[in-house]
Structures are given as C-alpha cells and as structure tokens.
Chains A and B, each alone.
Chain A
Amino acid sequence: MVKKKIFKKLTLALVGATLLSTIAVGCSNANSTSTDSDKKVTLKIALWGDDEYKYMSETNKIADAYKKEHPNVTLEIEKIAPKEYDNTMKIRSSAGQLPDVFPVRQANLSLYADIMVPLNELKATENNLYAKETMIKGNVIGLPEAVFNEFVFYNKNIFQEYNLEIPKTWDEFIKVCQTIKDGKKYTPLALGLKDSWVNYPLNEYMPMLEAGDGQYYNKMASKDDPFTKGEPFYNAYTKIQKLYDAKVSGDDPLGYGWDQQRAMFVAGKAGMLAAGSWYKSDYITNGGKEENLGVFLLPTRNTTSDPFYTTAMTEFFWGVPKTSKNQKEAKEFLEWFFGDYYTQLATTTNIKPTMKGVSYNDEFFAQAFEDVDAEPVTIFYDDNYNKVMNAMKFDVKGIGQQMVAGKNSLDSIMKDLNAQWKKARGN
C-alpha cells in the first residue's frame, strides 16, 4: 500500500512538473522588454528592407549610435524576409509578440489602425512630409520612411538604334513600343504577366494618374458604379487595353514571369521595363550595365497640354504597437531615428526622403523629371476602400491578366466590376 501511495505521488509529481514546465515555457515572454530596477530597456526592432538592414547592422550600426545617446537602451534588430514579413507580423500580433518598433506596409496600414499607438504629437510627425496625408481613423499610426516614384526604365542602345525620343503622351509611348516591335529584334516592353503584380504601374496606378488623385480608389469606395464609361478608371483601362492589344510584350506575356522579365531587360533583349525606383539596384545587382540604362516617367496623359501626373508611393510606416511595454522609449527612439541618423540613412541608401530638410540629389532619377512639369500624386488607400476591396476580392492585377488574355471585352469586364462593387458596398 505504501509503495502504491509513493508511486501515485511520484506519478502526480511527474505529471505536475511536466505540465508546469510546459506552461512555463509556453508563457515565457520572449519579448525583450525587460525593465529592471536600473531601467535598462531593450527595444526590439523588426524590418524587411535589405538596404536599411545592411545600413543599420553593418554600415552605421544603429544599436551603437543609439547607445551613445541613450545608454540604458539596447536595440535589437531583426530582418524578416520581405515575402514573409506581413504574415510574420500578423502571427506575432496574435501571439502578443510584436516588436517594440517596426514598419508597416502601406497596404496594411488600415489593418493596424487599432493595434498601433497614435504618433500625432511627435516632432518627427510634424517634420514628416507625408504623415498627415496618411492618417488612419484620424491618427498618424506610422511615419513613412521613403517615397517611391514609378518609372519606365529603358535600354539606351535600343532607343539609339531606332532614333527614339522619350515619349511625352500615352500615344507616343505606344508608338515607341510599336517602332521597337516593328524592328523584330527586341521585345518592346518586358512585362512578365505570369506574375500578376508586375502590371501594378499600369493596372493599379493608372486610374489614379487619370484622375490626378492619389486617393482616387478611396473616392471610388463611395460610389456604386465607378467603372462606368467616362469615369477615370474606365478611361485608364481603355488606354491600358490599347497597349495590351498592341502586343508589345512578346507573343505570350502571360507565359513568363518577373524573373524572365528582368533577365530579358538586363540581357538587352527588351527595350523597356516599368517599375518603381527600387528596380535600379535590382538591375545593377543582376549584372545590368548602368551606362546603358535610361529612365523616364510613364506618360499617361492624352496631350502635352494635359497635366503630367506621376505617382508617389510612401512606404515603410514606422510605428509602435500598443502591446509594447516600452512605448515611451519606443517613441523617443522614433524621434531620434528620424533625425540625423535618418538623414545619413537616406543619403547612403539613396532613398527619396520623407522628412523636411533632408535633401535628395539623385542624378539618375532626376533625368526623368527634366523637360516635364510632373505633378506627383501621393498614393494612399484608406479603410473604406480596403473594406470594399476585401469584400469583393478586388484584384486589379488579375484584371490586367484578363485584359491580356482578351477573352472578355473591356465593357463586359467593367460591367461585372460595377455589379460586384455595388454588392460589396452593400454588405
């Protein structure tokens, strides 16, 4: 009997110990926010940008630079792969394990509205050129780090070979494409539509350029039929359809993707490629010759007397989550980050700055703005638009693929979109 009791107790103790250790491990806070009696604080930072991470962890170590001014604060930086970043953050948010400071992608900004601390009162917010334009529910929840313009990169040799000039209107652009196509040597515009996202400068941004309004999609969210003939969306898509119908991206653009698109352009097999300013470093990394690379702004206007709109896309919205136990220190860090350190970061990594007083002298991209009176429109998607978009699974890039496939007329596509949009708004 005694043995039985001992075994019973032993079993219970073993079960209890294992259970406790499991709970202890499960509940242990891996977050670094330890506030000891001497107020030592560890701020955890996560980001996805390669260039920023390299600068912050190697070129000008942010942890060391910050420690000099804030000896009690230790910074820990973690880089997450760009493709996994959004999902990783969502998973960490569910687990209450978000880092103390991290950038939010603009596309997800409204999703984070209730998660992030308002940064309205910060000096850095005052000095940020775009923060007030990108408020969610009346609050600045993230400070944009960079602004990107969209360009058409072109091969100078091919343009020289056909005596081509930089196009200033949409028709001129199609004509340039057509001339290269007629030469039967090169693909005029590399567009690997197997990866639908590559058409974003056209299918996503052109309606905003047509409307001359970076928040045009938000306005569409207040209408029942924004795809009707005569509306900016319809007009923009009519122009895009004209380009797709000219078949200037190879005989089957849906059959190749981004990897082949850039390989074609780097190898000099394609005349042009539409992408953001981020593409330049990609071109160099993949062995492209810089002296052969030219750039111009996508001319979407009808005539040279129309305004020349171009997109400005703000990105990397640095913010602090409400779950952070070191919100005060995290805000202080943001004030510091968007000061001198940011000026050095922006200059070294050659990003177009979002802060007042930080100069930007990129000769390469400056050539695109010569001879045109470009008017940038700042892109921003608000909560109302995101709700409609998610409800109807609105996918402009998929529509681009549909337009290239050519199995449905533009009118029927637009008619379907109107019906779906109205229904999504009603839900």
Chain B
Amino acid sequence: MFKKNDLKMQKNFVLVTFLFIPTILISLFMIYPLINLVVISFTSWDGLSPTKTFVGLTNFKKIIFDSPEVWVSLKNNGVYFVGHLIFIPIELFIAFLLDKRVRFSKMFKTITFLPYIINTVAVACMFMFLFSSQDGVLNSMLQFFHMDKIGWLSDSEIVNYSLTGVSLWKFSGIHIILFLAAFQSLPTDMIEASIIDGASTFKQFYHIVLPNIKPVIEIVLFLNIRGALQIFDIPYVMTGGGPNHASETFTVQTINTAFQYQNFGLACAMAIVLMIIIIIFSIIQKKLFNLKG
C-alpha cells in the first residue's frame, strides 16, 4: 500500500516538474500573447498610447467590408499558393528520382536542400540583383539574345510571379526532402513484389508509393497553405510590397497597418482573420484530400 502511494507520488512529482516549465513557457509566449491579440483586436490602439479604446467589431467589419486592399493582398498570397501547389507533383517526382534512381543522388539531395538553409534575406538580396533593371543578370541575358527587358519587379502584372519563383527556389527543397523521407520509410518488399509482378515505374509510383505517403503529402499541403498565406520576408525585402502595393501580401499589409499607419487594433484583427482563413482552408483541403477515402 505504502509502495503504491510512493510510486504515485513520484509519478506526480515527475509530471509536475516536467510539465511546469513547458506550461509556463507556452502560457507566457503563446497563450498570453494570443489572448492579448484578441483583446487588442477589439480596440483602436495606436501601439503607443496608454489607453486602449474599445471599438467592438469595428476592426473586423472594416477588414471584411471596407478594405479592398486587404483582399487584393490575399489575391497576391493566392499566387504563391497556386504556384507551390502546381509545383508539388514536380517535387514529388524529383524526390522519387532522388530516391536512388539517379546517379550522384546524394550530391543532388544536398543541392536540392541547400536553398532552404540559406537565410531568406540573403536569398532575397541575391534575387534582387538577378531581377534588377540596371545591369540585372536576367535582363542582360535577354538583351544578349536581342529580346526586350522584362520588369521582373517593376511590372505590377509580373512582380508576384517573380517573387513566387524565388519562394519556389527557396522552399521546394524542404518539400522534396520530406517526400524523400517518406519514400525511404516505405517497406521495400511491396515495391519488390510489384517489380516481380511486372509493374512499371509509373504504376509503382501511383499504386504503391502515393497511397503510402499520403500523410506526408497532407503535411506538405498544410505547410503550403500556411506558408503561402503567411509569406512575408521575400516580398518585404525584395519589393517592400511595391510597386504601389502590387506585391503586398496579407502579412506585409498587417505589418504596415501596425507600424506604418499606427493601427495596432486593426492589425491584430487582421492577424486573427488570417488565422481563421488558414484554419478554414486547411479543413477544406483535408476534406477534399480525403474524398476518395
């Protein structure tokens, strides 16, 4: 009896000590800021004044009914989302090839993953020089072939595609590595059995590999939604949201609302709206993905 209690106490002690610090950290750095975010979203706080005036749902109404620029910025986020979505099958295929199906696969794996580990600001700076209209590499190449220059970052019709290209260059590596890890965790006997049965590489991929890596695909799709809707650093560094707000994403708009236009209340409401959009899109995507059972 005494021993049983002793064990229970020890268990409780370990539980409390192990959980106390993480709980405090999560409360301090996640729960408390989240509560604060929600509270501020119902105020017209300018980020500095000691008083926070309660304005009810005004900020949310303004975002939904009276801020066309917010919806334009979401459209820009859509370009990143669609770009990455289109690229996912290509990433899958590259990962499939890199899974011991090409020579020097180890070297290619490293090359594929390298962009992801480079600092995003450095990547953005590098591409700024590639895209520049003054002595930029890409335009110089076009001129070499007697073609007209392209306003990679200056044409409001093109700028979002240029930035999506940078985002693809930077983030495709991590998707490929995730797919590759999924491929390598597959039991080899299934593939071997299919080879004996005479299945082609495509059939192996479609009937065996794909169904077995479904959870990883789901994760990559979720990462895509989250990443596309929260993209900030690439447009902020490369164009600052310009020209004339043409490449402003939702997060760039939120940051500018808070720090440039001194409206923290509205910016917090925008952050909550973004959170809700991500949740809704993820649920829709999950439902669509699982339609086939």
Contacts and interface: CB of A to CB of B under 8 A. Distances in A.
B13 interface: yes
B243 A194 contact: yes
Interface residues of B, number: 44
B278 to A, nearest CB: 24
Contact of A114 (B12, B50, B256): B50
A86 B259 contact: yes
B186 interface: no
Contact of B243 (A4, A112, A254): A254
Say whether chain B's binding surface is mostly helix, strand, loop, or mixed.
loop
Contacts of B47: 90, 94, 111
A39 interface: no
Interface string B113-157: 000000000000000100111111000000000000101111110
A115 B262 CA distance: 15
Interface in A1-32: 1, 3-4, 7-8, 10-11, 14-15, 18-19, 22
Contacts of B35: none
Interface stretch (B17-25, B190-198, B214-222, B225-233): B17-25
B185 interface: no
B50 A194 contact: no
A260 interface: yes
Interface string A134-154: 000000000000000000000
Interface string B1-31: 0100110011011001100110010000000
Contacts of A112: 48
A15 B16 contact: yes
A4 B136 contact: no
Contacts of A93: 48
B48 A90 contact: yes
Chain A interface helix/strand/loop/mixed: helix
Given A194-B239, A401-B243, A260 B134 contact: yes
A54 interface: no
Interface in A228-285: 250-257, 260, 264
B261 interface: yes
Interface in A393-427: 393, 395, 398-399, 401-402, 404-405, 407
B48 A7 contact: no
A401 B242 contact: yes
Contact of B149 (A8, A115, A251, A257): A251
A18 B20 contact: yes
B245 interface: yes
Contacts of B59: none
Interface in A182-204: 193-196
Among A14, A22, A393, chain B packs the most CB atoms within 10 A around the CB of A393
B242 A398 contact: yes
Interface of A: 1, 3-4, 7-8, 10-11, 14-15, 18-19, 22, 86-87, 90, 93-94, 111-112, 114-115, 193-196, 250-257, 260, 264, 386, 389-390, 393, 395, 398-399, 401-402, 404-405, 407
Interface of B: 2, 5-6, 9-10, 12-13, 16-17, 20-21, 24, 46-50, 69, 128, 131-136, 149, 151-156, 239-240, 242-245, 256-257, 259, 261-263
**Which 7 pairs from chain A and chain B are nearest by CB?**
A255-B133, A254-B154, A252-B133, A255-B154, A402-B244, A401-B243, A401-B244
